[in-house]
Amino acid sequence: MIFGEKFRRKYALSEAGEANVKKGVFWTVVTNLLVLSGTALLYLLMRAFMAVLVDGAPLPSALPYLAGVVAFFVLSLLVHSNQYQYTYSVVYDEVGFVRTSLAERLRKLPLSFFAHRDLADLTVTMMSDVDRLEHVWSHVLGYLYGGYISTALMAVGVTAYNWKLGLACLWGVPVAFALLFGSRKVFAAYAAKAKAAALAVADSVQETLEGMREIRATNQEARYLDGVSATIDESECQQTAAELRTGIFVNSASVIMRLGMATTVLVGARLILAGEIDFMTFFMYLLMVTRIYAPFDQSLALIAEIFVSDVSVQRLNEILHTPEATGSEEFAPVGHDVAFDHVGFSYGTGDDAALEDVTFVAKEGEVTALVGPSGSGKSTCARLAARLWDHTSGSLTVGGVEVLDIDPETLMRDFSMVFQDVTLFDDTVMENIRLGRRGATDEEVLAAAAAANCDEFVGKLSDGYATEIGENGALLSGGERQRISIARALLKDAPIVLLDEATASLDVENETKVQGALSRLLANKTVLVIAHRMRTVMGADKVVVLDEGRVAEQGSPNELLSADGMFARMVKLQSESAAWSLAQKA
């Protein structure tokens, strides 16, 4: 069987997509055979006229022939409309389904997958690669496999009728296809280079747009634009090289296949002279050979396109067949203590351990602060707790339940997160807050917003909570964006809260307002705080000091100050830096 799981994976199709390809193949076969029947109708008409002209037979009635022509056109309309439906129209549903499937898959993949794929790469896969495969699904598969089957049926017929003429017609077909399949590695190599160059263009453009502020601030516009131009030129060269080589092989194969027409004429003429066939049989073969080659003319180009699309298929399959982060949807913790027990973690197989033998407990109803130098593993601990990443050794439990055994989305229901870098969407203030809990009423959203001190700045916006705030909240200040983030967390009201430098970039006034909102958010919750400001940490119930992925010390702030260890040294350094001031020399 040419169809099945292997076929779907080969072309990145869904089961529904495969079913539609089957229908497209069927109607393509019917169409090709119907067109061939048109040549048979012409053959019968020519034989009748030859009988009149040569043998003096009476002129036949035109009615049967007119009826045949009408029937041919009616059937042709019906068959072509069905072929169009199952090779073109249904493909748009497949495209939508595949893009939705990719989005769903990306939503469920572990974050370790995204560590190796940048945004431009994934965008190209979702858009450009699916676009390329859309053309394969609609213009290639039905015609190609339908051409295989219909031509095989024709070949059996013409060879059975006269094997000499049959061989003369068809010998070029296997030779042409052997040439194409033999050059498959060449197609794949140049297609991979062209795709890599196209990705470099996407990366370069994205980097330039995202870093425009820094580029302008450092007067680097010309250098960056030159770099973008260079990647575009390289992509154009690689694409041209790939197209050129494809054209050379496809046209060479087409020429070889067309030589079959010449051999048909030569063999046919010889057979006529030998008296083995009459002129009308020879004429019939000349008509049929044009129809036999027509599907294969198209198939040669289609096969080349399939070879080129292999790169896109591999990129889609990498996403569609990457194992998801899975687990039980039943989560019944006993309390919400977050316990690390000899936890280890590495971001990649060849990377050094980001965490090693980390053990501590963040108790429910307490604030546990994670402190330490940059790169010590503070944010990693928070990510592991919420199963944004999966720890590689040890045990990490929430309420006594191992997080690796719980579906990430189910586990995430018990977590609220407030980060220093807030992500907002180009939507209203109301809808940005409602992201905290799907289905929340307007009254609940407004109550959370009021508790997060959002009313003050929202009241100054043109349409209040219905104001569109621009991409990533471009119309808001840092403090206003932070308060929206806290409002989301308040609306969600999860029992565990992760805070990652939530107030680090705020001015004094905004910090005070945000801290007031945070006080309402953190009441009676399990709280993990990542902070560098020691005055923030001093109010915590417990401090865990991390250094190079290990727990250096832990205890209450006062206990750690008394121990005069790493934490005490950090507090002392911050106290000294607080006394530093700008001064002009005379």
The residue written with tokens 């010998």 in the block is 171
Contact 554, 542 (CB under 8 A): yes
**Do the domain assignments include residue 445?**
no
Compute the average pLDDT of residues 287-312: 72
Is 141 within the bounds of a domain? yes
Domain-embedded: residue 370: no
Cα(501)–Cα(529) distance, integer angstroms: 8
| In contact, 136 and 309? CB cutoff 8 Å | yes
Instruction: Give the CB-side neighbour count of residue 563, counting CA atoms within 13 A.
Output: 15
| pLDDT for res 104 | 84
User: What 3-state DSSP class applies to 479?
Assistant: helix
Residue 427 lies in a domain: no
Mean confidence (pLDDT) of the chain = 83
User: Is residue 249 situated within a structural domain?
Assistant: yes
The stretch 108-116 carries a mean pLDDT of 75
pLDDT for residue 586: 45
Q: Whole-angstrom Cα distance, residue 330 to residue 328? A: 5
* Structural domain includes residue 534: no
Statement: residue 451 has pLDDT above 70: yes
Q: Does the structure show a pLDDT above 90 at 326?
A: no
Residue 552 reports pLDDT greater than 90: yes
On whether residue 157 sits in a domain, the answer given is: yes
pLDDT in tens, 383-412: 899 898 889 899 999 999 999 999 988 998
- If you average pLDDT over residues 445-465, what whole number do you get? 88
Mean pLDDT along residues 443-471? 88
pLDDT at 296 over 80: no
Q: Is the pLDDT of residue 1 over 60?
A: no
Q: Are strands 415-419 and 496-500 parallel, antiparallel or unpaired?
A: parallel
Report how far residue 64's alpha carbon sits from residue 40's, in angstroms, rounded to the nearest whole number.
14
Question: Domain range holding 215?
Answer: 5-320
pLDDT at 343: 95
Q: What does the longest C-alpha to C-alpha distance in the chain come to?
A: 124
Convert the pLDDT of each residue in 144-193 to its tens digit: 888 778 878 878 888 888 888 888 888 888 888 788 777 777 777 877 78
Of the candidate ranges 213-217, 236-240, 543-547, the one whose mean pLDDT is the lowest: 213-217
Q: How many domains does the chain have?
A: 1
Q: Which residue has the higher pLDDT, 531 or 396?
A: 396
Max mean pLDDT range (7-16, 245-254, 262-271, 394-403): 394-403
Provide mean pLDDT across the span 233-244. Answer: 85
What pLDDT, in 10s, does the model give residues 557-567? 999 999 989 98
Residues contacting residue 47 through CB under 8 Å, at least 6 positions apart? 280
pLDDT digits (tens, 9 = 90+) for 345-368: 987 655 678 899 999 999 999 999
Query: Which of left, alpha, beta for 449 (phi over 0: left; psi -120 to 50: alpha)?
Result: alpha
> Sorting pLDDT into bands at 50, 70 and 90, what band is 29?
confident
- Separation between Cα atoms, residue 236 and residue 507, nearest integer Å: 49
Mean of pLDDT values over 24-48: 80
Tokens of 236: 């154009």
Backbone angles phi, psi at 510, to 5 degrees: -65, -35
- Residue 120: per-residue pLDDT: 72
**Residue 339 confidence class, pLDDT cut points 50, 70, 90:** very high
* pLDDT for 405: 93
d(CA 395, CA 428): 41
φ/ψ (deg, to 5) at 544 = -115, 120
Q: Which two tokens mark 282?
A: 């020879």
The SS3 call for residue 461 is coil
On whether the CB atoms of residues 473 and 458 are closer than 8 A, the answer is no
What is the enclosing helix (H) or strand (E) of 465? none
Cα–Cα distance list, 580 to 121, 577, 583 (Å): 45, 5, 9
More confident residue, 306 or 297: 306
- Hey, what's the torsion of the CAs at 198, 201, 207, 208, to 10 degrees? -160
* DSSP line for 202-242: HHHHHHHHHTHHHHHHTT-HHHHHHHHHHHHHHHHHHHHHH
pLDDT at 506 over 70: no
DSSP states of 388-434: SS--SEEEEEETTEEGGGB-HHHHHTTEEEEESS----SSBHHHHHH
Question: Would you say residue 505 has pLDDT above 60?
Answer: no
Domain membership flag for residue 532: no
pLDDT at 340 over 90: yes
Query: For residue 511, what pLDDT is reported?
Result: 64
The pair of structure tokens assigned to 179 is 């040439």
Cα→Cα distances 224→28, 198, 207, 212, 474, Å: 50, 17, 9, 10, 24
Q: What is the model's pLDDT at position 473?
A: 82
pLDDT given for residue 517 in this prediction = 67
CATH number (domain holding residue 91) = 1.20.1560.10
Instruction: Find the range with the poorest average confidence among 57-71, 73-87, 183-197, 244-258.
Output: 57-71
Q: Is the pLDDT of residue 503 over 70?
A: no
Judge whether residue 80 has pLDDT over 80: yes
| pLDDT tens per residue across span 137-154 | 887 888 888 877 887 887
332 has pLDDT over 50: yes
327 or 505, greater pLDDT:
327
Confidence of residue 554 (pLDDT cuts 50, 70, 90): very high
Averaged pLDDT for residues 475-498: 87
